[in-house]
Structure 1
Amino acid sequence: MSTNVPRVKSSDTILEAATVMNREKTSGAAVVEGEKVVGLITERALLWKFVPLNKRPDEVTVGEMLVPFFRIGPDESTKAAAKIVVDNRITRLGVFEGEFFLGWVTLTDLAREFSKPHLLKALTARDEPEDKQVLCPNCRKAFLEKITNSEAVILRWECPNCHYSL
């Protein structure tokens, strides 16, 4: 989780937000109204929402390009965070305790976490007994099934009931 997140006001212009993001060498910033974080602005939002407007960056406010935060609590697992990011095709996930913004988890944070040797070993282990069954942590109604490619490499584990995967 990154806690040193750049912040911009919803009333700031896109030019001001881009300047902050460039100075901080980041692809996004939290958007605040007063002390409350109300969303975020990202490079992706600028490309997809701002560029088609064909306006000058000093004419459009951050509030007009605001992207809502998908949220997660500080005690949620890395796998839970990764699932939200993947399922919603987002690049960052806000970490909130109640309404208090703690920071965000980015794709880079997740890649670093999942590239740790102990996690790679656990995720790609082949020496588990074939009869081992793991109850789906999402629906708790079915056991996860191993999904493999043609070379028998495990791609993921998936629930046949709710399609949760890890």
Structure 2
Amino acid sequence: MIMDVEAVETSTSVVEIGKIMGEKEIGSVVVTQNGDAVGIICERDMLDKVIAVDARPGELTAEDIMEEPLTTVEPGENLLDAIRLMVQNHIGHLPVVKNGNLAGILTVQDVLKATPEILETLPAREERKGATKELSGEGVCEICGEVRSSLVEYNGKWICRECQDFLTG
């Protein structure tokens, strides 16, 4: 995770947020209110909620375009669980909060940096070919945590077809 997180107040103008993100070369800022993290603004929010709708950024504040409620994890969270949370919530920036205080942020780029180490724990491609059993009816994928209508057994875990495709390439 990145420990030096850029935070802005809910009243910060979108123009100022754009300047901060550009100058610091970052893809998100956490929005705070009275010291508590309450939302997040990512590059996508700037595109979708300002540029794409031809809004006037000088008239908007962080509170107007932030994503809320804020999805967070604790510093001791398992990396794979944090990745699952990011996938399930379709987010690329996951604030890390300790005792209510912002401690850092985990980004997709951080995950990609750790990917070589994660991939080393996976079995060789030859070992990953084909599922041995299929489960009909709803179940929860043990990789992504999504509820799916069918699962396959793969290396002793029940997983969805999307995760199987990812693992087997």
Decide: shared fold, TM above 0.5. yes
**In the alignment, what sits opposite 2:153?**
145
Q: Distance in 2 between matches of 1:115 and 1:44?
A: 27
- Please state how far the C-alpha of 1:87 moved relative to its aligned partner: 1.7
Q: Which moved more, 1:9-18 or 1:93-102?
A: 93-102
**In the alignment, what sits opposite 2:78?**
77
- What residue ranges of structure 2 are gaps of 5+ in the alignment? 128-141, 146-151
Q: Alpha carbons of 1:88 and 1:43: their partners in 2 closer, same or farther (altered >3 Å)?
A: same
- What residue ranges of structure 1 are gaps of 5+ in the alignment? 129-135, 139-143, 148-156
Divergent runs of 4+, >4 A? none
**In the alignment, what sits opposite 1:123?**
122
SS in 2 for 1:67: coil
Q: Distance in 2 between matches of 1:124 and 1:41?
A: 38
How many corresponding residue pairs? 147
Q: Distance in 2 between matches of 1:158 and 1:25?
A: 40
Confirm or deny: 8 A CA contact 2:49 2:55 kept in the other structure: no
**In the alignment, what sits opposite 1:64?**
64
Confirm or deny: 8 A CA contact 2:50 2:56 kept in the other structure: no
Report the TM-score, using the length of structure 1 for normalisation. 0.74
Q: Alpha carbons of 1:113 and 1:55: their partners in 2 closer, same or farther (altered >3 Å)?
A: same
- Please state how far the C-alpha of 1:64 moved relative to its aligned partner: 0.4
Aligned-partner residue type, residue 90 of structure 1? I
Aligned-partner residue type, residue 33 of structure 2? E
SS in 2 for 1:71: coil
SS in 1 for 2:3: coil
- Please state how far the C-alpha of 1:120 moved relative to its aligned partner: 1.8
Q: Distance in 2 between matches of 1:81 and 1:124?
A: 22
Structure holding more strand per residue: 2
Aligned alpha-carbon RMSD (Å): 3.2
**In the alignment, what sits opposite 1:141?**
none
SS in 1 for 2:41: strand
Deviations 1:53-79 (A, max 9, x none): 422211111110011221111111110
Deviations 1:84-110 (A, max 9, x none): 111221111111123221111000001
SS in 2 for 1:44: helix
Q: Alpha carbons of 1:124 and 1:108: their partners in 2 closer, same or farther (altered >3 Å)?
A: farther
Q: Alpha carbons of 1:158 and 1:13: their partners in 2 closer, same or farther (altered >3 Å)?
A: farther
Deviations 1:108-154 (A, max 9, x none): 001111123xx3221243587xxxxxxx597xxxxx8228xxxxxxx
**In the alignment, what sits opposite 2:46?**
46
Structure holding more helix per residue: 2
Confirm or deny: 8 A CA contact 2:14 2:61 kept in the other structure: yes
Confirm or deny: 8 A CA contact 2:6 2:30 kept in the other structure: yes
Q: Alpha carbons of 1:45 and 1:158: their partners in 2 closer, same or farther (altered >3 Å)?
A: farther
